Amino acid sequence: MKKLDKLCVVGLGLIGGSIGMAVRKLRLAFKVYGLVRREESIEEARRYSVVDTATLDPRKAVAGSEMVIIATPIGAMEKIAASIRPFVEKGCIVTDVGSSKLRIVGMLEKTFQPRSRFVGGHPMAGSERKGMGAARWDLFDGAPCILTPTGRTDEAALERVRELWENLGSKVSLLSPEIHDQIIAAVSHLPHVMAVALMNYLGRKRRDFFRYSGSGLRDLTRIAAGSPDLWTDICMSNRDELARAIGGYAKYLAGLEEALRQGDARKFRRTLARGKELRDEL
């Protein structure tokens, strides 16, 4: 891809910090700026080498950028988008990393068009850890990244964003915002709330159960350690699709419960066998 003159990453947490770090290491931009909210984040960005320059000043961060990546939590995107809009130059490509898309894409398209060329994006990479200290330049290597164009998306901007993510090592797919939210509710948001629900169930029973647990419980519930604030934002932004996914999943649990109560080993085993078959396929 043609090297960017200036890239701005808004929000230097795990995802934003990893983007900046990777772009610098792979030399995909001549200048990498980061917009942060706290003074101490400037020193942190310098310590972890996630960007060339971190600043609290939206004008300094955004002005002259060929591409701006909004990597803040979903709940902060509307406010931050409004604050940087005056400094986004005409023709600049703006994209995001939000893990729900329908509401966010509609809001950001409205905020930035016609001044900029907005492309919705969602890299499927992360960790239960957060912050710049968890950032890795290779975080996106081999990870899926979903771009969510609409009828208003500029084709050249879409291709530029696709090239960036492919250069970061991601496997890029295109989905509508609606389909994205249906799929991600099932494969990402639902597993998180499942893990959280299981930990709450066990904690309510007796916490001394935990000392008898093996690696299976730890593996299954690792993601429950994610930030409650971050995941509340994510789940509420996709609440309708997530609620439907929880309802669908609950039916499978109810089926297993019924088979146990009825002593129906054949039905129970059939469900287990189908689950194994699908897990092997995954």
**Taking the model in full, what pTM does it have?**
0.89
Give the per-residue pLDDT at 231.
92
CATH code reported for the domain at 179-281: 1.10.3660.10
User: In the structure encoding, which two tokens stand for residue 152, read together?
Assistant: 């208003």
* pLDDT at residue 104 tops 70: yes
Over 80: is that where the pLDDT of 17 sits? yes
Q: Shortest CA distance to 192 belongs to which of 144, 146, 253, 128? A: 128
Q: What are residue 50's phi and psi, to 5 degrees?
A: -85, -25
Q: What is the pLDDT of residues 62-77, one digit of tens each?
A: 999 999 999 999 999 9
* Same fold yes or no, 4-175 and 179-281: no
Can you tell me the mean pLDDT for 47-73? 96
pLDDT greater than 70 at residue 164: yes
* Residue 137 in this model has a pLDDT that exceeds 90: yes
In this model, does residue 264 exceed pLDDT 70? Answer: yes
- pLDDT at residue 208, as a whole number: 73
Angle formed at CA 34 by CA 33 and CA 39, multiple of 5 degrees: 125
Model pLDDT, residue 99 = 93
Domain boundaries, the chain: 4-175, 179-281
Whether residue 115 has pLDDT greater than 90: no
Cα separation values, 41 from 11, 36, 126, 127, Å: 10, 6, 20, 20
Q: Are 10 and 19 in contact (CB under 8 A)?
A: no
The reported pLDDT for the residue numbered 204 is 75
Average pLDDT over residues 258-271: 96
pLDDT above 70 for 205 = no
Provide the CB-side half-sphere exposure for 34 (13 A, CA): 33
* CATH class as words, domain 4-175: alpha beta
Considering only CA atoms, which of 12, 11, 178, 20 is closest in space to residue 104?
178
pLDDT tens digits, one per residue of 211-253: 788 889 889 999 999 889 989 999 999 999 999 999 999 999 9
